[in-house]
Structure 1
Amino acid sequence: MRVRARLLTFLALSAFPLGLAGCATAPAQSVSPPLAAAPIPAAEPAAVPSGPPRLIVAISVDQFSADLFAQYRSRYTEGLRRLQQGAVFPAGYQSHAATETCPGHSTILTGDHPARTGIIANNWFDLGAARDKKSIYCAEDETKAASDPKDYVASVGHLLVPTLGDRMKAADPRTRSVAVAGKDRAALMMGGRTLDQVYWWKGSGFATLEGRTLGPSALAENEAVAAQLAVPAAAMPLPGDCTAMDRPIQAGKVTVGTGRFARGAGEANQFRISPALDAATVDLAKKVIAEMDLGTGAATDIIAVGLSATDYIGHATGTEGTEMCIQMHALDHAVGDLLSFLESRGIDYQVVLTADHGGFDVPERLDIQGLPHAARAVPALVPEALGKAIAERLKIAVKGPLILGDAPFGDLYFNRALTARQKTQVFGELKREALAQPQVAAVFSAAEIAATPPPTGSPETWTLIQRARASYYAPRSGDAVMLLKRAIVPIPVPAPGYTATHGSPWDYDRRVPMLFFRPGMTGFEQPNAVETVDIAPTLAALIGLSSEPGAFDGRCLDLDPGAATTCAR
């Protein structure tokens, strides 16, 4: 069935009911990740795949940079080793400048850059919002008040385009679409509006959308997690190849680099910042697949799996300590566990694994490991500080901050009380003030970005303003964008759980692996740049889902290394 014009398709998809599918409950399984699991045995040779797969499994590993993949790829012995037998694209690009979780996840299964998905950042500002809080979270419904003032009502309403799951269900309503993740923004941005089941980690267990109830699988998984949280967790043993990383690094008042993920009874936050979160997410995905009998229906089904522990660990401890090394081993096992489960059920599946963005290590460790120019952003670049300095210089008095922003980089918003002339003055002073700091690479006005044509061509060649243009959506983007230089970490003062980050326009944050695997396929490696927006059109072609010209920003990648093609001619 041909998908109709883009806008009409999305309007139709938006009206679909969000029902829950439920079948028999799968047995509860342990969510504890083994530490140094033995290599998986060689699989029996699979038949060469023909026809569309019965189940698409889209895995996003939050903060899994191409650098991490390159560093550990020879050490993987389980799932990530298996995926390297397929089509390997080690230089996939989240091409835009705003390399954050929500924008990155919005590209993976829509095939569109944030400029079209509308998801320009994790948070943006709506200075005309009726509520006191002007910051808007990408996966919230700000028109609804949560029972807890510190909470929010999760929603996919800000996503402007359909996901692959939405398109599949529009073409054939028999398709079942599911999303399971460690974060709501991962599940919702990959899953879309027409999900049959959707779950994400919240607090001390998995939650779902307002108005829905947890299905049998989620209830069973939450019981398993509760049992695990009820007892202390011992420190995880250190794999032999991680011993060289075992050294303490002082990041402000936080010591990182020697962690083993020990936790006390009831410490749900420490569970979240550990390999246990990915193990629980995979365990829930397995339960849902069994409950719904995915991959055995009349139409191809799809499940999005968001593995978030790598990101939480990367923020808390950086990317080059024992913590990340242990996590890379545990991630390998978690992916292998999911693949083995699919094959034990005889499912003809197609998996793609990628990431929403990359990441960067703590500058204190980089400084002693050959990158002395790595540093933390100076406090003078914090938006409130910039605004205060500019207001004093221009003698502008307004109610509230002159400049608002989520961090000392990215989108900056000017006070709404300013006249057009004053905004021009403020931008001029902002550019002068920021560029006087040696840590700032560029400052662009919204008008400059809007006047830049949407970028085309290979993403590693895009200029900084082109990268910013791929993240620009006028109704939500700021009055200006400030970009820091390479190796400048936009965390002036590290804190527990937040010592390192991502979000820059540089390749350590933009470049991610893209791995496609289907049992029986002939593998190959293609090292040149591709984009995460290429994933959705590639999978659509595999299942014969036609789309109108221009439906995607990305293009179909041919996964057949021979003369044949998996893309329509």
Structure 2
Amino acid sequence: MFRVKTLARFSSFLLATVLPLAPAIAQEAPPPPPSLPIVSQQVPQNAPRLVVAISIDQFSSDIFAQYRQRFTGGLARLTTGAVFPAGYQSHAATETCPGHSTILTGNRPAHTGIIANSWIDQSVAVGPKQVYCAEDTGKRAAGSKDYVASPIHLLVPTLGEWMKRANPAARNIAVSGKDRGALMMGGHDTDQVYWWKGKGFVTLAGREPGPTAIAQNVEIARTLAKGAPAFPLPAYCGRNDRAVTAGEVTVGTNHFALKAGDADGFRISPRLDRATLDLAVKLVDEQKLGRGAVPDLLAVSLSATDYVGHATGTEGAEMCIQLAQLDLALGDFLASLDKRGIDYAVVLTADHGGFDIPERLHEQALEKSARVGPEVSAEALSEALGKRYGLAPKGLILADGPAGDYWLRKDLDEGLRGRIVDDAKAILMTSPYVEKVLSAAEIAATPMPSGSPETWTLAERARASYNPLHSGDFVVMLKRSVVAIPTPRAGYVATHGSPWDYDRRVPIMFWRKGMNGFEQPSAVETVDIAPSLAALIGLKIPQGAFDGRCLDLDGGPANTCGAGK
């Protein structure tokens, strides 16, 4: 059953959303929780018995449009269903953890509590003040360099948890190339959850891997022991197969030959997605998914596109090969479900988009693309403002990178905090790399946005990411096409995380055998996915539990949202 503690966090946050919001430090506790309404389910006779939710990490609408005509496998099949090419991760903090937290909760990061991949919490007693979004800080051990993975920071239930609350017989399974992908899509109450770590798939502390995960890891170990040849370069990838230098790193021509023992090379390649999907199929058999009286949920987060994007950018031979292989792997995955005779429905989307390296963009008509300068860093601000106010500069301002949330040292009094925030904003706005700086007070005073997400202001995009439990004292937004990596290094030359549409726009595709397919170019949000799937399987969720709306997926006169549309 859904844990009482999780229900309390969700209920308290629903209460908090209807109360006036004021700036708060990251350590502030939520208000006392009311009880959560009961959820019910009346499974329609024609409902699918397995819901498959797939997230492709860093699969932007731009990349989808660029390669759509090339797909022949699983992605091609999905384009025959209900296609929303302008889906939106509508918030400003377009990172992996917040993006995954929206897909199956139906809530924006402001309500999921997952405002970034990590944030600063100065109340943490053990270890660094930086808190990872999928980390149980209460289980930190002094001197340990590892962490205990957990969905503890997720404040709202996932669809799989709602399904299990309505009927405990429902199975909720999640598998990913990243712990945050699996945990944000699976939630607190999973029957099985796995993610890649080191040289294979692992699960939550205190759980033993099942036989199928063990078998999958044995297969991976065989591949790692002997290595593997490079992937073939599709003919249409030829123009991408060109070396480009970013700092001391050269990218653009890697075809993913795997040296024996190179686990990191396995991870940053199409092989990771293939292994993740193979494990997902094995879990379908092990858990007998789609064969019970009530629908089951299988969440699959595919991480290789993101790893490849960070390591090589989005426009080299590497990404071209990755997408070709991903398409084939997805085709084999769906064919495996077909062979098992399971009545299943699929949704595929992404946690965020991505952006190419400035060095290649300069050669492709985007000369204004740049890497952020050092003056935007928390260290530079601390030095300048420490001198101005006669304060020790170390740790005066804290951040997790040269953009996004920034925090002031907690021992400053309120009046001084306000002056430092104002001065930090003034300094940052002199930088040629900065578009806008917003204080927590300004963001909290902004109404939660509504309407089509492509029209939202930057303040509204920031509001959708703002949660007083975790957010900083101010937020820095870089100019369009400025990359938040000052110095490229091996494995990290390009990134995402901006409030711009190349990071916010992602495709959303629903598919089921025999459905009336259609294409809707108008904008929708990833928070619309959970309510749409809930309606499809007859799950009655309390009103107000979702930020999103139900999408009618019939493509004809019938309405899959029923009376709840």
Q: TM-score, normalised by structure 1?
A: 0.91
1:87 to 82, 97, 101: 82
**C-alpha distance in structure 2 between counterparts of 1:395 and 1:194, whole Å:** 50
**C-alpha distance in structure 1 between counterparts of 2:368 and 2:238, whole Å:** 26
The residue that corresponds to 2:340 in the other structure is 345
Pair 1:562 & 2:562 matched: no
**CA offsets per residue over residues 408-438 of structure 1, 9 Å max, x none?**
0000000112121221121121111110011
1:306 to 301, 313, 330: 301
**CA offsets per residue over residues 125-179 of structure 1, 9 Å max, x none?**
1012112410000001011135972210000110000000000000011101100
1:451 to 445, 448, 452: 445
**C-alpha distance in structure 1 between counterparts of 2:468 and 2:142, whole Å:** 32
The residue that corresponds to 1:464 in the other structure is 458
Q: CA deviation at 1:390?
A: 1.7
**CA offsets per residue over residues 317-346 of structure 1, 9 Å max, x none?**
000000000001011011111100000000
The residue that corresponds to 2:413 in the other structure is 419
The residue that corresponds to 1:222 in the other structure is 217
**CA 1:281–1:11 in structure 2 vs 1: closer, same or farther (change >3 Å)?**
closer
Mapping of 1:358-373 within 5 angstroms?
Answer: 358-373=353-368
The residue that corresponds to 1:434 in the other structure is 428
Pair 1:109 & 2:104 matched: yes
Mapping of 1:514-529 within 5 angstroms?
Answer: 514-529=508-523
Pair 1:241 & 2:218 matched: no
Does the 8 Å contact 2:108/2:527 carry over to 1?
A: yes
**C-alpha distance in structure 2 between counterparts of 1:235 and 1:285, whole Å:** 25
Pair 1:207 & 2:211 matched: no
Does the 8 Å contact 2:127/2:142 carry over to 1?
A: no
Pair 1:156 & 2:170 matched: no
The residue that corresponds to 1:280 in the other structure is 275
Mapping of 1:539-550 within 5 angstroms?
Answer: 539-550=533-544
Q: CA deviation at 1:206?
A: 0.3
Does the 8 Å contact 1:13/1:194 carry over to 2?
A: no
Q: CA deviation at 1:387?
A: 1.5
**C-alpha distance in structure 2 between counterparts of 1:81 and 1:132, whole Å:** 47
Question: Which amino acid is 1:453 matched to?
Answer: P
The residue that corresponds to 2:139 in the other structure is 144
1:190 to 178, 185, 192: 185
Does the 8 Å contact 2:175/2:193 carry over to 1?
A: yes
**C-alpha distance in structure 1 between counterparts of 2:171 and 2:222, whole Å:** 30
Mapping of 1:353-392 within 5 angstroms?
Answer: 353-392=348-387
**CA offsets per residue over residues 468-490 of structure 1, 9 Å max, x none?**
00000001100000000100000
**C-alpha distance in structure 1 between counterparts of 2:335 and 2:489, whole Å:** 39
The residue that corresponds to 2:23 in the other structure is none
**CA 1:100–1:224 in structure 2 vs 1: closer, same or farther (change >3 Å)?**
same
Question: Which amino acid is 1:282 matched to?
Answer: L
Mapping of 1:502-541 within 5 angstroms?
Answer: 502-541=496-535
**CA 1:11–1:489 in structure 2 vs 1: closer, same or farther (change >3 Å)?**
closer
Question: Which amino acid is 2:539 matched to?
Answer: L
Does the 8 Å contact 1:10/1:162 carry over to 2?
A: no
The residue that corresponds to 1:496 in the other structure is 490
**C-alpha distance in structure 1 between counterparts of 2:123 and 2:417, whole Å:** 17
**C-alpha distance in structure 1 between counterparts of 2:281 and 2:253, whole Å:** 32
Question: Which amino acid is 2:198 matched to?
Answer: G
Pair 1:253 & 2:248 matched: yes
Q: CA deviation at 1:10?
A: 7.4
**C-alpha distance in structure 2 between counterparts of 1:193 and 1:8, whole Å:** 8
Partner SS for 2:320: helix
**C-alpha distance in structure 1 between counterparts of 2:281 and 2:544, whole Å:** 35
**CA 1:432–1:127 in structure 2 vs 1: closer, same or farther (change >3 Å)?**
same
The residue that corresponds to 2:289 in the other structure is 294
**CA 1:132–1:151 in structure 2 vs 1: closer, same or farther (change >3 Å)?**
closer
**C-alpha distance in structure 2 between counterparts of 1:343 and 1:11, whole Å:** 36
Does the 8 Å contact 1:13/1:193 carry over to 2?
A: no
**C-alpha distance in structure 1 between counterparts of 2:142 and 2:96, whole Å:** 26
**CA 1:329–1:13 in structure 2 vs 1: closer, same or farther (change >3 Å)?**
farther
**C-alpha distance in structure 1 between counterparts of 2:257 and 2:338, whole Å:** 33
Q: CA deviation at 1:397?
A: 2.7
- List runs of 5+ in structure 1 lacking aligned partners: 1-6, 16-48
Question: Which amino acid is 1:110 matched to?
Answer: T
**C-alpha distance in structure 1 between counterparts of 2:342 and 2:127, whole Å:** 50
**C-alpha distance in structure 2 between counterparts of 1:551 and 1:480, whole Å:** 28
2:67 to 51, 63, 72: 72
Q: CA deviation at 1:354?
A: 0.2
1:474 to 452, 468, 471: 468
Does the 8 Å contact 1:388/1:401 carry over to 2?
A: no
Question: Which amino acid is 1:567 matched to?
Answer: C
Partner SS for 1:74: helix
Partner SS for 2:508: strand
**CA offsets per residue over residues 382-410 of structure 1, 9 Å max, x none?**
11122212212332236x31110011000
Pair 1:397 & 2:367 matched: no
**C-alpha distance in structure 1 between counterparts of 2:266 and 2:505, whole Å:** 28
The residue that corresponds to 1:25 in the other structure is none
Partner SS for 2:299: strand
Pair 1:325 & 2:356 matched: no
The residue that corresponds to 2:38 in the other structure is none
Q: TM-score, normalised by structure 2?
A: 0.92
Does the 8 Å contact 1:13/1:170 carry over to 2?
A: no
Q: CA deviation at 1:304?
A: 0.2
Does the 8 Å contact 1:10/1:161 carry over to 2?
A: no
**C-alpha distance in structure 1 between counterparts of 2:512 and 2:141, whole Å:** 42
The residue that corresponds to 2:39 in the other structure is none
- List runs of 5+ in structure 2 lacking aligned partners: 11-43
The residue that corresponds to 1:18 in the other structure is none
Partner SS for 1:73: helix
Q: CA deviation at 1:236?
A: 1.8
Question: Which amino acid is 1:160 matched to?
Answer: L
**CA offsets per residue over residues 52-102 of structure 1, 9 Å max, x none?**
100000000000000000000110001000001100000000000000000
**CA 1:169–1:14 in structure 2 vs 1: closer, same or farther (change >3 Å)?**
farther
